[in-house]
Structure 1
Amino acid sequence: MSQPENDLAVLLRTMRPELHPGAFAFVALPADADISLSETIATFREAEGVTVVVDEATAARRGWPVLFRAAWITLTVHSDLAAVGLTAAFARALGEAGISCNVMAAVYHDHIFVPFDDGPRALDALVALQRGALRG
């Protein structure tokens, strides 16, 4: 695996956003819910319970109520968890396009969840941000 990048200019030029096919569901479950990690995209434990992100079909199959229906975009650049400014830059670009975003940073990549119907526009905004960085 490549070394993580932390230079903001390089991150913006090489972020290579990809829109995953399908719809994804944010679900809130009790802390003691039976959750199989193999069917989750992400989980986060909070005082109120567990937030789970799954594909929409899994939520339907399990009978879990969907609180937020999302499109999922991954920035394929290997970003350093300590990098400064990347989240602010793409959140600003999406905000200027009128698109809300929910961000999850993982060890290798940043993952952005936007309202499902805004997925293609969000991808366009991120590609435009990358193109602007390439022009310098």
Structure 2
Amino acid sequence: MSGEKDLKTLLQNMKPVLNSGEYVFCKVESLSEIPDLEKLLFFFRETEAVTVVLETSVADEWELEYSYISSWITLNVHSSLEAVGLTAAFANTLKHENISCNVVAAYYHDHIFVAKEDAEKAMSALVMLSR
């Protein structure tokens, strides 16, 4: 398994980046309802439905319902999927700032979705955590 496992190293090198755009979480019964899979940021199949995450403008174009508009922060450290404590550390930091977060651990990086209005405050908290 590639990627960093040491929590201290991960925190010191996480280099959070606020990606441009607004993102929403929507649900569909099937991916066949999606006109263009390339426009999805990601999807996750659950028992009840398929969750899709995409830019707000695309969700509006496709007339998908949503209630939460988020900003997307990427931690630019290559974290191992076996690393212990990174998610807890940044989630706890955001909790102390009263910021809700939705986390996606991809192969190379962790991605954090926070309410759009909390994006700058979340970035500041994450930068402080890495010091």
The TM-score with structure 1 as length reference comes to 0.91
1:41 is paired with a residue whose SS is: strand
| Count of residues in Structure 1 that have an aligned counterpart in Structure 2 | 129
Asked whether the 8 Å contact 1:6–1:83 carries over to 2, the reply is yes
Question: Is 1:80 aligned to 2:89, yes or no?
Answer: no
How well do the aligned residues superpose, as a CA RMSD in angstroms?
1.0
Deviations 1:48-72 (A, max 9, x none): 1100000111101111111321010
Matches of 1:32 and 1:61, distance apart in 2: 16
Following the alignment from structure 2 to structure 1, what is the Cα–Cα distance between the partners of residues 47 and 31? 12
Question: Any conservation in 2 of the 1:28–1:51 contact (CA below 8 Å)?
Answer: yes
1:118 — aligned with what? Answer: 118
Where in structure 1 do 4 or more consecutive aligned residues deviate above 4 Å?
A: none
Which ranges in structure 2 are unaligned for 5 or more consecutive residues?
A: none
Partner residue in 2 for 1:13: 12
Rounded to whole Å, the distance in 2 between the matches of 1:50 and 1:5 is 31
How far did 1:37 drift? Answer: 2.6
User: What's the counterpart of residue 102 of structure 1?
Assistant: 102
The one-letter amino acid of 1:79's match is S
Deviations 1:79-136 (A, max 9, x none): 00000000000000000000000000000000000111101111111001001xxxxx
User: Residue 59 of structure 2 aligns to a residue in which SS?
Assistant: helix
- What are structure 1's unaligned runs of at least 5 residues? 132-136
Q: Percent identity, please.
A: 47
For residues 31 and 126 of structure 2, what CA distance do their matches in structure 1 show? Answer: 37
Tell me if the contact between 1:31 and 1:48 (Cα under 8 Å) persists in the aligned partners.
no
Q: TM-score, normalised by structure 2?
A: 0.94
